Each structure stands twice: as C-alpha cells, then as structure tokens.
Amino acid sequence: MGAINSIGVIGGGAWGTALALTAARAGREVRLWARDPGTVSEIRSRRQNPRYLPGITFDEDLNPTTSLEAAADADAILLVTPAQTTRAMLAALQKTGKVRGPVVLCAKGLEQTSGKLLSKVMGEELPGVEPGVLSGPSFADDVAKGLPTAVTVAANTAKTALSLCEALQSPCFRPYASIDILGTQIGGALKNVLAIACGAVVGRKLGASAQAALTARGFAELTRLGTAMGAQSETLTGLSGLGDLFLTCSSSQSRNFSFGLRLGEGFMGSELIAAGGKLAEGAYSARVAVKLAEKHGIELPICETVARMIDEDQTIDDALNTLMARPLKAETESV
C-alpha cells in the first residue's frame, strides 16, 4: 500500500473526534463523519464538540461532514462507532463504493448477536479490505487535549501496521505496530467486562485489596481466553491487554468502570441498561466472552459473574459470595 495522506474517521462521538484530532496533528487530511448535523455544525463553526468533549476547543481542521461517501473516500478509514453497530456501519461503507484502503476498527467489544470478533464481522461485510485494530490505554479527553498516549495498532501485515502507525504518530500520540489482530481485540473486549467487576467492588466499598485482587485475577482470565484463541502472549501483556486493563479498572473516567460503580451501589443491571446513558461495551460483551470460554473449554468466573449481574440482576453481595466460595485452586499451573 502507498503512503496514507488522508484519513476518514467514521463516528462523531468523543473517541472519534479525539482520533480525528490525532490524525490532523499527525499532518493527515482528515474528514470526520458524524450522523448528527448538529455535531457537524458545532465542530465546523465553533471548533468544539460540546456534547461529547465539553470544554475542549481545537484549532485543527477536521472537515466534519454528514456524507459517509465523502468520509470514506480516503487512504485509510478509522471506524469509531460502537461495537454493536459495527456490522451496519461496515455494510454502509461497502455501499458507498469508496473504500480503497485499510479500515481500522477502534471499538472495543464483541458482536453480541453472533459472538464474533469485529474483524470477523468486517470480513463478512467488507470482503477483500484490509482490517486493522487500534486499542490501548486511552481516554478520549486525554487524547483530545494532546496528553501523552500510547496505543497498539494491529494489522495482518507488518507493512500495513507500520504505515498506519506512521500516519497517526505525533509528539503526543505514539502507536506501536502489531500483527496480532486477534489478541489486540481480545484485550480490548475483555478489559471492558473486567472493568465492570472492578467498578462494582469500588461501588460496594470493598476496599483497595479486593480491587487489586480482582484486577490481577481478571488479567488471568484475559490471558486464559486470549491464549486459548491463539493470541500472542506479548500482546496480552502489552498496551492493548494489561495496559488497557490497568487504566480501565482504576478510573471513573471509564464508562465500564462507572457502570460497575452503579451496580456496586445497588442498582440492577436491567435498570442501568433501560436508563440508557453512556455506553458500556462490557455489558454487551460479558455473556459473549463466557460463551467463547465454554467453546474453548476454559473458565472465566469473573466474566461469568458480570454476565449474571447484567442478565439475571444478581446483586453484588451474591456475586461476591459466589466468587469467594469457589473451590480452592493453585494460582499457577506449576503448583
């Protein structure tokens, strides 16, 4: 593939706007697609996206548009819409007939209806187009403000991964290339589920010791599933695995952690989902992760517990009792 000079960013939310700013700071020509004309108008006239990034004004030209065709006509595309809308957005991109370069998946989740990784969904909806994945410890506000951030950018070939990294690199944004698309996606999807569990522990005021233990055992689950599915160990211990898990399991800036906080405070999963509000991808991925684990013959007790809290309205106290009453086992296989 040739040099990436133009980038279409699909999604006018907080993360989409932040990544559009990143691409612009890296010297790329950017076209940012948003579904809402009001968002496009605010970005164009005020250099702000107050609905999603309140208090942040930027100088970069993001060329906002409601035309998917215009945004898709680029050397590379960053798809930054929620995981559960990925299939529909890929189908819409296919219909434009404009896609000519790699499409980088920037949502962190698993398709709830099919249980598939988003790269598999892309293979069905955009056959023949190179997939990429961008993931890692990154909050949209930090990236939009130009605070130092490092992420993983994965593709099927090192050449494509490096080209994407070169197209996005700036003094405040450092992407690391990978050819482990599968592992990069597993880390991003699982950490969201585990962040809900950590948020619930904090919301129930169970203490820092419990939070640390849950994070560590959660990483063991992430590693177990990733390994079973063929992920590289270096990916799971890297930015898109352990790095993102650490960030998301320790900050109320995380939507998934905040969702868990509410569960810990006594709200039922069905209440929170019915109320809408900020998207928590982990709420959709929990049961899918458990089904994947069953398919590969492994156990994910924390993910299973989160799934029950969301699907069956299990309380935090019942969830804790279930986890603590599990049969004793060795921490490592060498014992």
pLDDT at 278: 65
Is 279 assigned to a binding site?
Answer: yes
How far apart are alpha carbons 136 and 108 in whole angstroms? 10
Is 180 annotated among the ligand-binding residues? no
Q: How many CB atoms lie within 10 A of CB 179?
A: 16
d(C-alpha 250, C-alpha 234), whole Å: 22
Residue 329 has a pLDDT of 84
Catalytic residue among 98, 159, 191, 295: 191
Q: What pLDDT was estimated at residue 334?
A: 54
C-alpha radius of gyration, the chain, whole number? 19
Find how far residue 151's CA is from the centre of its chain: 11
Angle, CA 327 vertex, CA 322 and CA 328 arms, to 5°: 120
For residue 142, say whether it is annotated as part of any ligand binding site: no
- CATH code of 6-179, in short, is 3.40.50.720
The residues, ordered by sequence, that sit 6+ positions from 280 with a Cβ below 8 Å of its Cβ are 192, 196, 255, 256, 258, 259, 272
116 is in an annotated binding site: no
Count, residues in the chain:
335
Collect the ranges in the chain with pLDDT lower than 50: 335
Residue type, position 110, single letter: L
C-alpha 8/C-alpha 142 separation (Å) is 21
Q: Which tens digits make up the pLDDT trace of 127-143?
A: 999 999 999 999 999 99
Provide the residue ranges of all domains of the chain, joining segments of one domain with +: 6-179, 182-324
**Catalytic site residue 95?**
no
Q: Which token pair is 151?
A: 């992420």
Look-up of token digits 């249980």? 115
Give one DSSP letter per residue of 228-267, joined into a string. HHT--HHHHTSIIIIIHHHHHTS-TTSHHHHHHHHHHTT-
pLDDT in the model for residue 277? 65
11 is in an annotated binding site: yes
Query: What class is the 182-324 domain?
Result: mainly alpha
pTM: 0.95
In this structure, the number of other CB atoms found within 10 A of the CB of residue 103 comes to: 24
